[in-house]
Structure 1
């Protein structure tokens, strides 16, 4: 199996370039400063708002357009690389296929759970009175791309196949674009080694260069978010603060459900005592909260597996694979973001668009990499929203508060990584597979 993994014909994509560090704290300060100044001007000097908005709105819109321009090339390149990496891993042996099966089962299950949970939470925990309505009016006026009429079943199914993939990309038709990219990546895996490597190198270069551009755009996020939040506060008053807090609550609760699901998975399928599992993962969870990185938590996760008696063979194979391919909380929380945006903007989501959101949320995690939460928010949630016909403009404002849900993302991912490793170790046939190598 090690030979299959190390074979250059099925190599994993090379490391992506180091990107400019996202100024998370300054972005959050920009959000607070913009909201605060907007509220202050509304209360103290409403007559002076017009000239300030004449500057702030174009600045915020320009930054938002720059961010949106990177979504399609980044998503396509990362998805291509993720599919190639997944196909290569599936060829590595039975243990890899079992791990991938469990990964996708949890990812799809989390996405389905969010589709039911988020509307329920929105009904049980409504947003502050007037907050959503005020923000909806403000953002709808600024976002030129309004949702069109919902297509029928036939049109929806037919839209899966793009007549022109470049036109689909230009028109933000994300579902057919992703379907074409995934099929194209699987087809590339069947090419001769030289041709496959050429395509993979091309998409690695596109993804790497686009990530560098995204890093530059997010480096000026404090200014962009300040301008956007100032304009929103000027139009909506204090409603913006309540709506953002409500968003953080709903998305974090969705992630909490995924985090808690790791415990019954470890107990029921990994055959681990609940108390022992809970104690063993505490060091990895502490490191996850302090670093907000699954990769940085890998040594602590390996230590947790040893403490639980999980065989080194299972842990040393499954955990690195999980860190590379598995974002356990990703589909659920990303789908929750898209559903909240639809609620926020008053975009009706019928059953077919829910299915589209579920499908994109379930597969986009395989195109995700270990990136700062702000970048992951754009690359993962943007395609889901576009597939559901929801404008992605408000994502730029949510970048500033992603640091809070991102803590739950990393905490849940690390705990689920250890739980799935326990499941793989408990499955029969591990020793037989080792003997057959």
Structure 2
């Protein structure tokens, strides 16, 4: 996946482009699982320990960038959101739709994911993905503890404890405060966070460049413990998580029909070219010209589509909350962790806020940056993410397809609110 990042109109910030060995990482996953199964009884213990150490070091290198990268992307993302909100009524209407879709996706996943896992249970072999998870008892806060946890008296201590909720709240407020500073001070701080984000992206890019080695080592251990059932577990994961993204895809058609005033058949027919590009490239940015063409076919006014669609590509990933929360809940189910409503609410809040900052990143990077904080906030182990990122190229097809379709649907709703889009 090679899609570069792009700032929102008026934001003026561009993050570094990173090329990721996606295919090689996927091949390493398959090879590691396969060799682990084949040599389960033949490999010496000392060699198992060496391979496990390689995987553990790669996993820790992946984890160490999460907090500084999330902090910098949150500041930049919220700054883009504030800049967009100042663009007028159409932008405010668009932002209202953005948050509405994200929240709807989170509620759907929270309600349907447990039912889906009951109807289609996780294969027992999936427990092998938890070998590197440290033991510990989950802390379930009550409502008063939840409210108290929104503010941490010491942000350094909160970062050391990976307390994602107060960290997210702090940096969200910090971003709003930066937006209200004098122009020169604003530029200084935004430049700092822009540089910090790029530095962290370079580091995580280096870590992900050697992902085939790290994933192979981790997958080899899973193959030793789980046998061939690990392949079935990954297939189950891909289908369940992609199904949560399917809700956003269906919701796009409903929005275009009910609020955008476009017939379902006409909308579906006009979106085929953009959807084809989305599936083939797995990049919303690369699909932008096709989305603009589809909008023209639907009769959406150019001044609306040329404003909303680039903005949507920059700050809106419709499937983020639904599918990212689904991944965290899936890992929780593997670990046997019951997520109570309080922690689920925390996870949804983090998912919505984090989606703003990581929207323009390539899928393999945003997978770790977006889902890691959600899992940490809900007390869910993040170690399995290091393996699941290797198959993200498959759910990412659904992510991009639904994102592109929703972008055009939201554009039609904004245009109709301005008096555009006809049924003919």
Query: TM > 0.5 between the two?
Result: yes
For residues 368-407 of structure 1, the aligned pairs below 5 Å read: 368-407=358-397
Partner of 1:289: 279
Decide which structure has greater helix share: 1
Structure 1 window deviating more from structure 2 (104-113 vs 46-55): it is: 46-55
Partner residue in 2 for 1:414: 404
Distance in 2, matches of 1:423 and 1:147, equals: 46
2:94 maps to 99
Residue 154 of structure 1 pairs with residue 149 of structure 2: no
1:211 to 201, 208, 215: 201
Determine if the alignment matches structure 1 residue 81 to structure 2 residue 76: yes
- What is the match of residue 18 of structure 1? 17
- Check 1:247–1:200 CA distance in 2 against 1; reply closer, same or farther (3 A cut): same
Q: CA deviation at 1:144?
A: 2.1
Give yes or no for contact 1:79–1:181 (8 Å, CA) kept in 2: yes
2:60 is matched with which residue?
Answer: 65
Q: Distance in 1 between matches of 2:200 and 2:71?
A: 11
Q: Distance in 1 between matches of 2:397 and 2:83?
A: 30
Which segments of structure 1 move beyond 3 Å, counting only runs of 4 or more?
428-431
Distance 1:11 1:311, change over 3 A: closer
TM-superposed deviation, 1:79? 0.8
CA–CA separation in structure 1 for the residues paired with 2:175 and 2:38: 52
Instruction: Give the conservation status (yes or no) of the 8 Å contact 2:266–2:298.
Output: yes
Contact 2:141 2:342 in 1 (8 A): no
* 1:380 CA drift (Å): 0.7
Note the residue ranges of structure 1 that are not aligned, 5 or more in a row. 1-7, 432-437
The within-5 A match list for 1:246-257 is 246-257=236-247
CA distance in 2, matches of 1:338, 1:401: 15
Offset at residue 187 of structure 1 (A): 1.0
Residue 264 of structure 2: which of 260, 268, 274 is its match?
274
**What's the TM-score once normalised by structure 1's chain length?**
0.92
* Paired residues of 1:95 and 1:430 also in contact (CA < 8 A): no
**In 2, distance between residues paired with 1:264 and 1:151?**
37
Q: Within 5 Å, which residues of 2 pair with 1:8-407? A: 11-19=10-18, 21-42=19-40, 46-128=41-123, 130-132=124-126, 134-135=127-128, 139=130, 141-144=131-134, 146-407=136-397
Tell me by how many angstroms 1:50 deviates. Answer: 1.1
Partner of 2:5: none
User: How far is the alpha carbon of 1:272 from its aligned partner?
Assistant: 0.5
Quote how far apart the aligned CAs of 1:393 are: 0.7
Q: State how far apart, in whole Å, the 2-side matches of 1:160 and 1:381 are.
A: 19
Following superposition, the deviation at residue 11 of structure 1 comes to 3.8
Q: CA deviation at 1:151?
A: 2.5
- 1:5 corresponds in structure 2 to none
Rounded to whole Å, the distance in 1 between the matches of 2:286 and 2:335 is 37
Paired with 1:48 and 1:271, the residues of 2 have a C-alpha distance of 63
Aligned mates of 1:54, 1:131 — CA distance in 2: 21
Residue 53 of structure 1 deviates from its aligned partner by: 0.9
TM-score (ref. length: structure 2): 0.95
Matches of 1:429 and 1:309, distance apart in 2: 12
Q: Specify every segment of 5 or more residues in structure 2 that has no aligned partner in the other structure, as ranges.
A: 1-7
CA distance in 2, matches of 1:145, 1:67: 20
Note the C-alpha offset of 1:356: 0.4
Moved more, 46-55 or 332-341: 46-55
